Structure 1
């Protein structure tokens, strides 16, 4: 009975691989690209995701917004009193809080900068109107480019003063306030004392196009009603706690009736980003790995065709089909194994190099790096199946005649 010892099988496979070093190196390079891309992709995505916590926008991470529903019955008391934001300001971790009421969306009020009748110019602009507490600048992270913002004295005296958002001022043609311009809001006159600059809080951009009044005078002249929005800024790390406590402080009798928007937890956001990036880039790594497998299959098949006479001679001397198949399978498996080892090493070095260049802390999945040679071997084994089976099916007489 014909037998082939494992030592002889290994010797034949290594001899076949080493007989064409240039071709073998190019074939291994395909697997190196696939495995290296996988390790690099997953390592870089995990490393980048870990930086989300450190580079997370501190401003966004400290913004909490509470939306207050309007009561169904206009005669019913408002869900949140105008003094309630003071209770929120006393919570540990709150750095600024402001409350305001605004016109309903789609029901903005006509605003004009003067009462001159000019048929060639559109004077009335439909703009959002907001009645606010004097702390709105701090809570919205905004500044004033002209004039000033109203204070608690304006609120207490119910002064008819207004601050325009930058877009609103542009639409109304007001660029200066030293001459005490006035605007008519739904026919009610208000003296403009300031113009807002940049509003850095993303969820409060409505202020840029709005007319902002003290909440007392807005309620007197325009009947804007109770609070519709409470904007809160917190110390870094306190947003989640304040988001849970603010509704109780604002509406102790019905905190569940308020809608709270809080930033996502940085840790969960980091995990989600890493998973999303890994999922997208993993496809690239798999495609590279498939290309490497096709390269192994193609080179092994070419090798089988070139060694037809050798296969026929070995079959004539008593080699069995399984011996021929085992030799070529071992060759392709060794090529895949070498590609996996080099690819894993290349991927780890790439992750470290990228992390050093970006001044990140590198994160490499040790299990993935350790399993990469095995993955390469499996890819090589699967890629060599068809060429090995084709070599094993050759008849000795046909094989000895050579290809052709």
Structure 2
């Protein structure tokens, strides 16, 4: 009985692969491209998702905004008291909170500034006007470009002072405040004590183009009314809880009447980003892998055609069909296995290189990396099935005649 031991089978397969090194290398390159693309795609998408979520964590994940509806009747008690921000500030996890009312959108107030050094220059603008608590600077993550922000003393004394947003100051032509310029808001004078710098919160960019007054002065002279917005910043991870607790602290009698804007869960964002990027790029890796599999099938089939004489001789000497099939199938599996190992290594190197270049923390799926050689072997197995079966079906007499 003819026998073919595993040692002989492996020896024959390695001999067959090594007999045509250039062709074998090109065939392996197809699998390397497929596996490498898969590992790189999933690794980069996971790394990008982690990086985007990390940036989101450090910024908007700590921002909560509460919108208060305007009362339909001026005689109705306000939904949120100005002093209610103190109750929110006592919540565990809150780092800053501020309340403000602003002129209704589409009904901005006329603002006029007289340039001291050029009395003939009068600039009139319709600008949003905000009456705020003195904590707005921290809650809106805003810096001062010049001067200072008003404090509790200004609020209690009902001082007619104003802080301008950077864009508002530019529109009014106020480039300096050391001479204590004044602006006329709806005909009423306010002394400018500061100009805002950068407004850090994306949802508070209205402040850059606004005239900001102490809420007491704004209520006295302009009747801006009660609180319309409460801006809250929290510690990392506290936004979700504060978003639930803030309405009860602000309006205990009707918390459901307030609208809360809170960031989505960072974990959900990370997963969503990773899935979106993976979904877009995974197709590229699969296409490359299919191309590599077709390359193995084509090369193996060509090899079978070129080695028909060898197959006929082996069959004449007693080799059985499953011996021939196993030899060519093992050659395909070894090619796929080598391609999987090299491809996984290339993919990991690409992810690390991209991450280092972007100063990211690389994230690589250990399961995918460890399973890549197995995936390559399976691809080689599937690609080599038809050629190996065709080789096994050759009759000794026909095979000995050769391909011609």
- Match of residue 137 from structure 1: 137
Counterpart CA distance in 2 for 1:319 and 1:122 is 104
- Match of residue 32 from structure 1: 32
Determine whether 1:203 maps to 2:210.
no
Q: Specify whether residues 165 and 372 from structure 1 end up closer, same or farther in structure 2 by C-alpha distance, changes over 3 A only.
A: same
Counterpart CA distance in 1 for 2:382 and 2:122 is 75
- Aligned pair count? 400
Determine whether 1:71 maps to 2:71.
yes
- Segment drifting more, 8-17 vs 215-224: 8-17
How far off its partner does 1:266 sit? Answer: 3.6
- Match of residue 260 from structure 2: 260
Q: Are the counterparts in 1 of residues 113 and 122 from structure 2 also a CA contact under 8 Å?
A: no
How far off its partner does 1:158 sit? Answer: 2.6
Counterpart CA distance in 2 for 1:299 and 1:99 is 73
Q: Specify whether residues 148 and 15 from structure 1 end up closer, same or farther in structure 2 by C-alpha distance, changes over 3 A only.
A: closer
Structure 2 regions of 5+ residues with no counterpart? none
Secondary structure (helix, strand or coil) at the match of 2:247 reads helix
TM-score, normalised relative to structure 1 = 0.83
RMSD, aligned α-carbons: 3.5
Q: Specify whether residues 51 and 124 from structure 1 end up closer, same or farther in structure 2 by C-alpha distance, changes over 3 A only.
A: closer
Counterpart CA distance in 2 for 1:370 and 1:208 is 53
Secondary structure (helix, strand or coil) at the match of 1:335 reads helix
- Match of residue 292 from structure 2: 292
Q: Are the counterparts in 2 of residues 127 and 210 from structure 1 also a CA contact under 8 Å?
A: yes
Q: Specify whether residues 179 and 9 from structure 1 end up closer, same or farther in structure 2 by C-alpha distance, changes over 3 A only.
A: closer
Which whole-Å deviations, capped at 9, do the CAs of 1:326-382 have from their partners, x for residues lacking one?
543332223212322443455456666777888877654443234323311221122
TM-score, normalised relative to structure 2 = 0.83
- Match of residue 81 from structure 1: 81
- Match of residue 108 from structure 2: 108
Counterpart CA distance in 2 for 1:402 and 1:171 is 90
Equivalences for 1:148-163 in 2 at 5 Å?
148-163=148-163
Determine whether 1:332 maps to 2:327.
no
Counterpart CA distance in 1 for 2:191 and 2:106 is 25
Counterpart CA distance in 1 for 2:395 and 2:258 is 82
How far off its partner does 1:402 sit? Answer: 4.3
Which whole-Å deviations, capped at 9, do the CAs of 1:195-215 have from their partners, x for residues lacking one?
111112222111111111121
Counterpart CA distance in 2 for 1:157 and 1:227 is 19
Q: Are the counterparts in 2 of residues 52 and 266 from structure 1 also a CA contact under 8 Å?
A: no
- Segment drifting more, 188-197 vs 47-56: 47-56
Which whole-Å deviations, capped at 9, do the CAs of 1:190-242 have from their partners, x for residues lacking one?
23222111112222111111111121222233222211111112233332322
